[in-house]
Amino acid sequence: MVQIENEANSNAQEEKLREVRYEYSNNLASILNHLGITLFFSTYQAGKLGVVTAKDNTPNISFHNFDRAMGMAISPTQMAVGGKDWVYFLKNDSKLAPQIEPPGTYDACFLTKGGQYTGDISIHDLAWGNKELWMVNTRFSCLCTLSNNYNFMPQWRPAFISAIAPEDRCHLNGVAMVEGMPKYVTVMGKTDTPGGWRDNKATDGCILEVPSSKVITEGLAMPHSPRMYQNRLWVLNSGHGELITVDIASGKHTKIVCLPGYTRGLALAGKYAFVGLSKIRETAVFGNLPIGDRFKELKCGIAIVDLQAQKMISSLEFQAGVDEIFDVQIAKFPSAIISGPHATTDGANQIWSLPASASQ
């Protein structure tokens, strides 16, 4: 199946075409239907946010332009998307959703309502907390929240980080929430120098407890996407292409499955895990990782893992146009639609949200 769309050329008014070619397993739509969810994924390389729904037992994928789309946070009422310099906010207008053409198709409609400028802080994971949005600020090695007066408000940093500085000292990248507050984070090394984590990225990854900075487990390869689910801590041991669980008391990690891609982006629902897969390039960041020795060719897409059987049972795989997946999230709506900040460039109709009094 081929998807072709227009992507705005940031240096000119003219548009260029990006061909996105993908395949999917026959059971992908039935899994989404069974769970009653919409699947979201982001890719900063292509600058897209993808939305996957199932209709008539066939997956439908739409793409929306966000400048360097990275972390996402989704609740029943709102959505946040981290970009290059901004955090975008989308509000779910559930009353409007059923009216969108064709009527009765959608049960959620996330409309872009605003954004906040942060500057390029390399936003990774985002998560809704009890009162506010939490952000993993990778460039400044901290967890932060937003402020009307500042680019961001630092709230916590690992004990070994001596100062808040734009130096990506430990590559803090993931956060797991417990009872509406950050509880566990992933770092690629306990280093306190600019980019210091890079030298031993394949062996020195850790999971830390918040706020104590206690090391829960170590010896990981570029870990990402920690999640608490069904009272267990799940994490992606990305440099090995693995989904693992970690025993919080002992630090022992158990491999659930090894997948044919650099694993980054994790969402869990029912007995399934939705795992982002990326190809890796031979660069200073992604070269010389264990996964490069395991598989002759790495894949890009989303793997669906049966957690009980501990194996991949379905996938969405990109053959062209997308080489990496950054984040994967789900919304508990069977058919959600979004209207991004660049609807015209997306090739979509503008969706307007107005008060009821406007039609009187």
Report how far residue 215's alpha carbon sits from residue 213's, in angstroms, rounded to the nearest whole number.
6
- pTM of the full structure: 0.92
Is 262:221 a contact under the CB 8 Å cutoff? no
Report how far residue 219's alpha carbon sits from residue 189's, in angstroms, rounded to the nearest whole number.
9
Q: How far is CA 183 from the centre of its chain?
A: 18
Confidence of residue 247 (pLDDT cuts 50, 70, 90): very high
Q: Which of 232-236, 293-297, 318-322 has the lowest mean pLDDT?
A: 293-297
Is 213:187 a contact under the CB 8 Å cutoff? no
Q: Identify the pLDDT of residue 285.
A: 64
Q: 191-197 long-range CB contacts below 8 Å, 24 or more apart? A: 191/160, 192/160, 192/161, 192/162, 193/167, 193/169, 194/165, 194/167, 194/168, 194/169, 195/167, 195/168, 195/169, 196/169, 196/170, 197/168, 197/169, 197/170, 197/171
Strand partners, 78: 91
Domain assignments of the chain as residue spans, ordered by start: 23-349
Percent of the chain whose predicted confidence (pLDDT) is above 90:
79
Q: How far is CA 348 from the centre of its chain?
A: 23
- In total, the chain counts a number of residues equal to 360
Question: pLDDT at residue 14 above 70?
Answer: no
* First-residue to last-residue Cα distance in the chain: 45
pLDDT tens-digit map of 128-142: 999 899 999 999 999
Is 149:116 a contact under the CB 8 Å cutoff? no
Tell me the average pLDDT of the chain: 91
Question: pLDDT at residue 2 above 90?
Answer: no
Q: Identify the pLDDT of residue 1.
A: 37
Instruction: Enter the DSSP assignment of 132.
Output: S
Percent of the chain whose predicted confidence (pLDDT) is above 70:
92
Question: pLDDT at residue 6 above 60?
Answer: no
Is 283:274 a contact under the CB 8 Å cutoff? no
The class level of CATH for 23-349 reads: mainly beta
